[in-house]
C-alpha cells in the first residue's frame, strides 16, 4: 500500500536570502540547509517544528522546471499551518507583516489569521487546539 509521508513545498522566489530572513526573523523558522552554504543562495530549506519550506530562486527553478516560466510569483497558493498559541503569534507579527485576514473565529470553529509573505504566498495560521480532531 502506497502511503504518503511528508509534504515540503518548494516555492519559486526572487531572492532566497531575503525570503529566508523573513521566515527566520518574523516567524521563527531555522535555516536547515542551503545551496551554496554561504553567500547568495539558489535554494534553501527552513523549518519550524513539523513545518518546512524550500525556496528556490526564480531562474534556477525555471531551469529545472521550464513549465514555470510564465507562472506569476505567489502562484495563487495558500498554506494552512496549525500552531499552538495563535493569538501569541498574531500579537508578535501583526505590525511586521501584511495581514490579509485578521484574527477571527471561522464557521468551523478555528481561530485563525492569514498573512502574505514577501513573495505573495498566503500563510493561514490556525489554533491547533481548535482544529484537532
Domains of the chain: 1-71 (3.10.180.10), 73-133 (3.30.720.110)
pLDDT per residue as tens digits for the range 69-126: 999 988 788 999 999 999 999 999 999 999 999 999 999 999 999 999 999 999 999 9
Q: Give the span between the Cα atoms of 14 and 42, in whole angstroms.
A: 10
Give me the percent of the chain exceeding a pLDDT of 70: 97
Find out whether 103 and 86 touch, Cβ atoms under 8 Å.
Answer: yes
Whether the predicted pLDDT of 20 surpasses 60:
yes
C-alpha cell at 26: 518574523
Amino acid at each position: 500500500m502506497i502511503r504518503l509521508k511528508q509534504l515540503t513545498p518548494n516555492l519559486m522566489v526572487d531572492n532566497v536570502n531575503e525570503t529566508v530572513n523573513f521566515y527566520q526573523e518574523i516567524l521563527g523558522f531555522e535555516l536547515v540547509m542551503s545551496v551554496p552554504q554561504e553567500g547568495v543562495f539558489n535554494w534553501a530549506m527552513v523549518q519550524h517544528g513539523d513545518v518546512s519550506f524550500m525556496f528556490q530562486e526564480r531562474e534556477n527553478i525555471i531551469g529545472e522546471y521550464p513549465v514555470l516560466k510564465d507562472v506569476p510569483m505567489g502562484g495563487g497558493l495558500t498554506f494552512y499551518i496549525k500552531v499552538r498559541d495563535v493569538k501569541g503569534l498574531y500579537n508578535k507579527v501583526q505590525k511586521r507583516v501584511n495581514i490579509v485576514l485578521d484574527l477571527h473565529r471561522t464557521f468551523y470553529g478555528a481561530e485563525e489569521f492569514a498573512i502574505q509573505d514577501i513573495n505573495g504566498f498566503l500563510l493561514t495560521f490556525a489554533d491547533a487546539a481548535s482544529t484537532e480532531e
